[in-house]
Amino acid sequence: SQQGEEDPQALSIQEGENATMNCSYKTSINNLQWYRQNSGRGLVHLILIRSNEREKHSGRLRVTLDTSKKSSSLLITASRAADTASYFCATEANQGGKLIFGQGTELSVKP
């Protein structure tokens, strides 16, 4: 069963706009990670946020984590056509060891 559920399933925006993707999960976690997948390629790690952190930034990416609501969001600011990809959240449960991936959000950024 999937731990993470993402919303929306698909998002289409214009270049320069911000994109926000949300992830909800069910059990207590050690950390939550976001990955990007371009068509036909493997997943690429974007950012990791630990359970004791609330917000983290990396370039144009901003991730928040609310452990009381068991949810996270990924914000991409000033989007570019090259940001077009699928974005996945993944959680490492307290038992450790493995990541459980959500179904992903398909982002399309139109030039």
Partner 1 sequence: DAGVIQSPRHEVTEMGQEVTLRCKPISGHDYLFWYRQTMMRGLELLIYFNNNVPIDDSGMPEDRFSAKMPNASFSTLKIQPSEPRDSAVYFCASSLNTAQPQHFGDGTRLSIL
30's torsion region: left (phi>0), alpha (psi -120 to 50) or beta?
A: alpha
Nearer to partner 1, 57 or 98 (CB): 98
Distance set, CA 39 to CA 6, 12, 92, 93 (Å): 18, 16, 25, 28
| Shortest Å distance, C-beta 53 to partner 1 | 13
Min dist. Cβ of residue 36 to partner 1 (A): 11
What strands, in cross-sheet order, belong to the sheet with 61-66? 5-7, 19-24, 71-76, 61-66, 55-58
Interface with partner 1 by CB under 8 A: which residues? 2, 30-31, 33, 35, 40-45, 48, 88, 92, 96-104
Question: Can you tell me the distance from the alpha carbon of 4 to that of 71, in angstroms, rounded to the nearest whole number?
Answer: 9
The residue (of 41 and 69) whose beta carbon lies closer to partner 1 is: 41
Residue carrying the six token digits 């030039």: 111
Shortest Å, Cβ 2 to partner 1: 7
C-beta closer to partner 1: residue 42 or 59: 42
For partner 1, give the closer residue by CB, 12 or 94.
94
